[in-house]
Chain A
Amino acid sequence: MRRMSWFNVTSLTLGFAFLYLPMLVLIIYSFNASKLVTVWAGFSTKWYGTLFQNEAFLDAAWVTIKVAVVSSTLATVLGTMAAYVLVRGGRFMGRTLFSGMIYAPLVMPEVITGLSLLLLFIGIGLDRGVLTIVLAHTTFSMCYVSVVVSSRLVSFDRSLEEAALDLGSTPWEAFRLVTLPIIAPAVISGWLLAFTLSLDDLVIASFTSGPSATTLPIKIFSAVRLGVSPEINALSTIMILIVTIGVVTASLVTKRNAVRAQKDARKAERAEA
């Protein structure tokens, strides 16, 4: 094993301390008994209690989850279709515009996307609420999904699909039975990406939501604008923990699958020998 130089060890230690200390401080202060966020007054879980009695937050959390589930599912379907069109679609009229529209939202500042969607919804007379947030989130996250899925589609062997077609399956069957299982990991990570993007979005949701529906980021933003609050610390801690558990579990599962695949490959090799 190579030994790491002191420089590399220091830069990694400092770098990860920088990345994680702020979140750690937030978690510690969520257990602070004092209402003053900067003074430590002993351990307490009371802010978690008041958080769960705060109906405005609970309602907003529920709206956020609904919007995220619906929009990421829609975005996954549309994004996968778009990726398939981009990679396998061949030539068609307006292809340049199509690929431009897939990549442009990735770099478009959120304030512009939000502003333009709001002007559209007002122009066609659509009342702002859950529906408009879902439409907005689906639009920008389908682009992320299609980028993730198309990178997988590019790298896979097209002859597998052609073989299925030669053996008499319809294009839809070939897609469902051959292509989809192979690109499934990319489709799933596309869905997860879309889901997190939707949960996280403040700016676009602010433009496209109305008085009838507010999402959690909007609620958090208007609360923290007035300053640091212990309830928000508690809420943030819960969100950080959920994400950490999710990501760590996912990476452990991936690792276990990789180890298993390796073992299978070795077994197959031995059987051949």
Chain B
Amino acid sequence: MRLSRVALILVPYLWLLVLFFAPFLIVLKISLSDAALAIPPYTPTFKDGIAALISELDFENFIFLTEDDLYWKAYLSSFRIALVSTLLTLLVGYPIAYGMAKAPDEWRATLMMLVILPFWTSFLIRVYAWMGILSNEGLLNQLLIWLGLISEPLTILNTTAAVYIGIVYTYLPFMILPIYAALDRLDTSLNEAAEDLGCTRTQAFWLVTIPLSKNGIVAGSFLVFIPALGEFVIPSLLGGSGTLMIGKVLWEEFFNNRDWPVASAVAVILLLILIIPIVLFQRNQQKQQEAEE
């Protein structure tokens, strides 16, 4: 093996080992340590050798997590919020992707750019934009009162509903793009054939278009669900104190309570929960690739 090839492999490899893999092991280790006045070093340390390390590890922090119902409520509510907002994003995103796929060819590049543009715009600012709209004196309430639909302002900001709006808004491009890619490849003659054989347009849509765009729907749903599960910015700006999400709990455990071992344990469990959708996603991608080959 030539030296240059070794160097080429080693540089990115070592970088990731030191700055991605090792930190993850540290989190794992601290999650199994005793809180020693919330400052390092934690017991056990690596200095005393592996045997001492293993004998001193304890699951105290994980047991603590099961005893306080705040944590499992937060996991459960994150899961529910991520799931519901993924479905909402699909409901909003599918018609847009469908409209794009049916648009005249000369519009498509522009429409595509209009979908991607918000992705390049700051995430934080896009979430912040909703704070002014959803507040009690905000534009949405002003509009609803002016229309005579309500007489008293609704409380939307600082509720879970605001978190749904925030997630749907910021993750919408992730849903639209894969569905558009699937619909764009679709052969319209299949729909025509279905209509010739007696389907109505709506039936053809449900029986032909939706099943053929399944891959796009699945990919888009994972692309929204996975990051939404660990979301921190949206619940802390739009959600108020009543919205429990695990990313926010981890942040507060770390920065407000300074309980590092518990924060690390929260992180480890979050990762374990995330592994399931990620593995499912990878399987789906693999199947798709095999189908294409």
Asked if A22 contacts B15 (CB within 8 A), the reply is: no
- The A-contacting residues of B in range 82-97, CB under 8 angstroms, are 92-93, 95-96
- The B-contacting residues of A in range 108-150, CB under 8 angstroms, are 108-112, 115-117, 119-120, 122-123, 135-136, 138-139, 142, 146
Nearest opposing residue in chain A for B41, CB measure: A123
A-B contact pairs, 29 of them (CB 8 A): A7-B95, A12-B96, A22-B126, A23-B129, A25-B129, A26-B125, A26-B129, A38-B135, A78-B11, A78-B15, A79-B12, A89-B8, A89-B9, A109-B229, A111-B250, A115-B263, A115-B264, A115-B267, A116-B24, A116-B27, A119-B27, A119-B30, A120-B19, A120-B22, A123-B26, A236-B122, A240-B125, A243-B122, A251-B113
Say which one of A41-49, A50-58, A197-205 lies at the interface with B: A197-205
Please name 17 further chain A to chain B contacts, defined as beta carbons within 8 Å, in addition to the given A23-B126, A115-B263, sorted by A numbering: A2-B102, A5-B102, A12-B99, A22-B129, A78-B12, A81-B8, A84-B8, A89-B8, A107-B274, A109-B274, A112-B270, A112-B271, A115-B264, A217-B124, A227-B131, A228-B132, A243-B117
Q: Digit string of B102-146 for contact with A (CB within 8 Å is 1, else 0)?
A: 111000010101111110111111101111110101110010000
- Flag whether B100 is at the interface (Cβ < 8 A): yes
Chain A interface size band reads 35 or more
- Flag whether B21 is at the interface (Cβ < 8 A): yes
Asked if B132 contacts A25 (CB within 8 A), the reply is: yes
| Contact flag A98-B11 (CB < 8 Å), given A11-B99, A15-B92, A115-B263 | no
Asked if A107 contacts B278 (CB within 8 A), the reply is: yes
Nearest opposing residue in chain A for B131, CB measure: A228
- The B-contacting residues of A in range 69-118, CB under 8 angstroms, are 78-79, 81-82, 84-85, 89, 92, 94, 97-98, 101-102, 104-105, 107-112, 115-117
- Flag whether B4 is at the interface (Cβ < 8 A): yes
Nearest opposing residue in chain A for B100, CB measure: A12
Chain A positions within 8 Å of B133 at CB level: 22, 25
Interface of A is mostly: helix
- Flag whether A160 is at the interface (Cβ < 8 A): no
CB distance from B165 to the nearest CB of A (A): 10
Chain B positions within 8 Å of A182 at CB level: none
Chain A positions within 8 Å of B139 at CB level: 25, 38
Say which one of B49-57, B192-200, B231-239 lies at the interface with A: B231-239
Chain B positions within 8 Å of A85 at CB level: 8-9, 12-13
Asked if A200 contacts B123 (CB within 8 A), the reply is: yes
CB distance from A196 to the nearest CB of B (A): 6
Asked if B120 contacts A243 (CB within 8 A), the reply is: yes
Cα-based distance from A79 to B213 in the complex (angstroms): 32
Chain B positions within 8 Å of A109 at CB level: 227, 229-231, 247, 270-271, 274
Partner of A116, one of B26, B100, B109: B26
- Flag whether A8 is at the interface (Cβ < 8 A): yes
